[in-house]
Amino acid sequence: MKREQGMRDNMASGGVLADGLPSLIAAAHELKSPLSLVRQLSLLLETEDLSVDERQRMLRQITLTSERALRLTNDLTRSVRLQDALFTLEPINPKQLCEEVVHELTPLFTAHGRRITLAPRTHPLLLVANRDLLRRIIVNFSDNALYYAEGDGPVQLQINAFHEGQMIRLGVRDYGPALSSDMWRSLQTKLSTAPQPIHARPQSSGLGLYIASQFAEAMNGSLGVTRHADGATFYIDLHASQQLSWL
Amino acid sequence: MNKQHVLIVEDDPWLAEQHARVLSRAGYEPTITPHALAAIQAIDIVEPAAIILDVLLTGSTAFALMHELQSYTDTARIPIILCTNIAEELELEVVAPYGVRRILDKTSMEPSDLVTALRSVLV
């Protein structure tokens, strides 16, 4: 039993380096899954006798899986450079940004037999953020919902104002079975600190969430998760822009 | 001749689908489940001859499933083949008491390795 714990501790050595940057082990672990899948699909394309439709479908899966891996590497490099770069915070229409994310991710969701939608919203809102960082956070949450939420329910992006319109919450709601209490506690910790050991959330090192929290911090925002009876909402809270009130 | 049932416990649907394709072509009857809980339910129904098990699953880990299977005489006998990205972190002698007979490394395995491993544990 001690040896098993030792293995897990070893797996848990991923996380952050002393200077707060994501560790190589956590990054390597996150990249293994998509790379392994691409390799298996490629080997099957080489060796199996497949119909044209099957080949096309597998090639599409390779493309989408590669794009997912590239998103992670791009986020990782962006995260590492956060400390050296200046980021413009500007008024952003969250509805427009969410529509762009839905458009970008629809092919991936469709290939998995899932749907991603944006909850209807009548009143326009503006928030203060960096467009690129905010888009990466919403894509990360959506990706998380696609791969880690159970079931085949839809994923919905939601925009809500609170604190009398002073704050705006962008959430990604999934409709799988509810998180267990243990996993919920683990995620709460993960959202406020560095990545947790791999076994804290078995299939993920939490690197994506850690990067998202770094991005949120750079925009004076905060991340959180709300547990529902039938799923979860990962969200970012940001300050509303006052520009609309001047009109 | 009846085909032998093999349970695939894998939360990546595209990878699970390819495992199932390889096993079907080799003459097995694969059933896919995405997590440990579904696997426990499926085991009672399909009575698999072997289980192909990913380690890092959504929800409970493979270890929780293996503990559960070891609790019952009939399920404890089902040979398990771990198919994982963290093969380098695992040692067969350590996990053998959980019913694990082979460990396949997803990062370096060939698709046919799945069939080779199955045949070796089902002799």
Distances (CA, A) of A170 to A14, A160, A173, B49: 29, 7, 10, 47
**Residue A169: its pLDDT value, please?**
96
pLDDT tens per residue across span A14-39? 345 445 555 677 778 788 889 999 99
Q: How far is B56 from chain A (nearest CA, A)?
A: 4
Query: Which residue from B61, B107, B109 is facing A202, i.e. has the nearest CB?
Result: B61
- Residue A201: phi and psi, rounded to 5, are -140, 95
- Using CB atoms, which residue from A29, A33, A48 is nearest to B12? A33
A-B contacts at Cβ under 8 angstroms: 72
3-state secondary structure of B101: strand
> How close is the nearest chain B Cα to the Cα of A203, in Å?
4
pTM over 0.80: no
Interface check for A41 against chain B (CB to CB < 8 A): the answer is yes
Selected for mutation to probe chain A from B83, B85, B91 (highest A CB count within 10 Å) is B85
Closest partner residue to B89 among A11, A35, A112, by Cβ? Answer: A11
CA A149 to chain centre: 12
Q: What is the pLDDT of residues B49-76, one digit of tens each?
A: 999 999 877 666 788 889 889 999 999 9
Could you give all domains of chain B from N- to C-terminal order, each with its CATH number?
A: 5-121 (3.40.50.2300)
Highest mean pLDDT among A79-83, A186-190, B53-57: B53-57
**Strands laid side by side in the B50-53 sheet:** B29-33, B5-9, B50-53, B80-84, B100-105
A55 touches chain B (CB under 8 A): no
Judged by a CB distance cut-off of 8 A, whether residue A11 touches chain B is yes
Residue numbers in B near A204 (CB within 8 A): 56
Total Cβ atoms within 10 A of residue A81: 9
Give this complex's ipTM.
0.89
* Two structure tokens written together for A12: 């848990």
Is the predicted pLDDT of residue A11 greater than 50, yes or no? no
